[in-house]
Each structure stands twice: as structure tokens, then as C-alpha cells.
Amino acid sequence: MIELAVIGCGHWGPNHIRVFNSLPDSRVGAVVDLDEKRLRSVSEAYPGIRCERDYRTVSEDPVVDAVVIATPVSSHYEMVRESLLAGKHVLCEKPLCKKSGRGE
């Protein structure tokens, strides 16, 4: 069983939650968003999912195998980098970053 966390519950995040929870070998155990209303909506639809406001809580969680990053592009680089350094598998919405080049 692959334990996932979805970071970002805006437009695409809920779709990732639904799809990954429908697969037999994966489970979304946590979601992260800064918007309390979005977290409440996810919590009502999926009562067993842990809701967080800081993405670092899931990147540091040893139970989480992979993260889905569905946030604004400006946050992708930092979140992807930190998640990979924490040993997580990462699926990131496109584009990966705004500019090519070191540190962008």
C-alpha cells in the first residue's frame, strides 16, 4: 500500500485525492492546504484523511511514501526539492517551475 499526501486542494487536488483513493494499492492519508474552507470540504468528503496547513508535516512524516504537489507554480520548486530531499516520491503538477536555471 502506497501512502500519499496531496499538497494543494484547489482545482486539481480533489481530483488527485479521489483518483488515488480509488486505486487498490494507494491511499491518501493526508492533505495540505492553507485554506481552512478547502480542508473542511476534504475532511467532510473523506473523514479518515488528516488535514494539515504546513506541507513540511507530510514531507517529514515517515509514513508518507509519496506526495502530489498541486499548488501554484511559484511554490513548486521549494516543495518538490524539500520532498525529494526527505526521500519522498513526487508527482508535481506542470509546469515544474516558472524559469529554467539553477535555483528557479
Each residue's pLDDT tens digit, 13-22 = 999 999 999 9
Banded pLDDT at 101 (limits 50, 70, 90) = low
In a domain, 98, yes or no: no
Q: Which residue has the cell 509546469?
A: 95
Q: What range does the domain containing 57 cover?
A: 2-92
Range with lowest mean pLDDT among 41-50, 67-76, 92-101: 92-101
79 located within any domain: yes
Rounded to an integer, the average pLDDT of 20-36 is: 97
CATH of the domain at 19: 3.40.50.720
Count other C-beta atoms under 10 Å from residue 45's C-beta. 12
What is the mean pLDDT of the segment spanning 62-83? 95
Q: pLDDT value at position 102?
A: 60
Domain count, the chain: 1
Separation in Å, CA 94 to CA 3, 46, 97, 101: 22, 26, 8, 16
The answer to whether residue 100 is domain-embedded is no
Cα separation, 8 vs 79, in Å, equals 11
